[in-house]
Structure 1
Amino acid sequence: MSIYQHYRADEKPFIDQIFESIHFVKDTYSFKLTDFLDPRQQEIVTQLASYDGQVVVFLDGGIENAERQRAIISPPYFEPESDDFGLAFFEVDYADKFFTIEHRQLLGALMNLGIIRDKFGDILINDKTVQFIVAKEVSGFVQLNLQAVGKATVALRKLNSEELIKINEEWKIQSGTVSSLRLDAVVSEMFHISRAKSAAYIQKGMVKVNWKVVEQPNYECCKLDTISVRGFGRGKLVSIDGQTKKEKWRIQYGKK
Structure 2
Amino acid sequence: MTENVYQHFRKEEHTFIDNVLDWIQTCETQYTPYLTDFLDPRQVYIVTTLLGKDRELKLLGFGGYELAERKRLFIYPDYYDPKLEDFEIELVEIHYPQKFTTLTHSKILGTLMSTGVKREFFGDIMTDGQKWQFFVSKNMENYIKVQLEKIGNISIRLESKSFDDLIEPINEWEESMTTVASLRLDAVISTLFNISRQRAKLLIESGKVKVNWAEAIRADHELALLDTVSVRGFGRLFIQSLEGKTKKDKLRIAYRILYS
TM-score by length of 2: 0.94
Residue in 2 that maps onto 1:177: 179
> What per-residue deviation string (whole Å, max 9, x for no partner) do you get for residues 210-254 of structure 1?
111101011010001111211111110111122233322111111
CA contact (8 A) 1:45 1:57 kept: no
The runs of 5 or more residues in structure 1 that have no matched partner are none
The runs of 5 or more residues in structure 2 that have no matched partner are none
Instruction: Quote the Cα distance in structure 2 between the aligned partners of 1:127 and 1:172.
Output: 17
Residue in 1 that maps onto 2:11: 9
> What per-residue deviation string (whole Å, max 9, x for no partner) do you get for residues 33-86 of structure 1?
000001111111111111663322110000121011100111233231110001
Residue in 2 that maps onto 1:31: 33
Query: How many residue pairs get matched?
Result: 256
Give the CA deviation at 1:193: 1.6
* SS of residue in 1 equivalent to 2:190: helix
Give the CA deviation at 1:98: 2.4
Instruction: Quote the Cα distance in structure 1 between the aligned partners of 2:229 and 2:9.
Output: 17
Amino acid aligned to 2:52: S
Residue in 1 that maps onto 2:213: 211
1:241 aligned onto 2:243:
yes
> What per-residue deviation string (whole Å, max 9, x for no partner) do you get for residues 72-111 of structure 1?
1112332311100010111112222222221111111111
Give the CA deviation at 1:208: 1.1
Q: Which one of 77, 91, 94 corresponds to residue 92 of structure 1?
A: 94
Instruction: Quote the Cα distance in structure 1 between the aligned partners of 2:50 and 2:220.
Output: 26
Q: How does 1:66-105 map to 2 (within 5 A)?
A: 66-105=68-107
Q: What is the RMSD computed on CA atoms of the aligned residues?
A: 1.5
Instruction: Quote the Cα distance in structure 1 between the aligned partners of 2:54 and 2:213.
Output: 28
Q: Which one of 108, 133, 136 corresponds to residue 135 of structure 2?
A: 133
Residue in 1 that maps onto 2:52: 50
Instruction: Quote the Cα distance in structure 2 between the aligned partners of 1:15 and 1:89.
Output: 29
Residue in 1 that maps onto 2:110: 108
1:230 aligned onto 2:222:
no
TM-score by length of 1: 0.95
Instruction: Quote the Cα distance in structure 1 between the aligned partners of 2:126 and 2:64.
Output: 11
* SS of residue in 2 equivalent to 1:89: strand
CA contact (8 A) 1:55 1:73 kept: yes
> What per-residue deviation string (whole Å, max 9, x for no partner) do you get for residues 175-219 of structure 1?
222222111111112212222221121111111111111010110
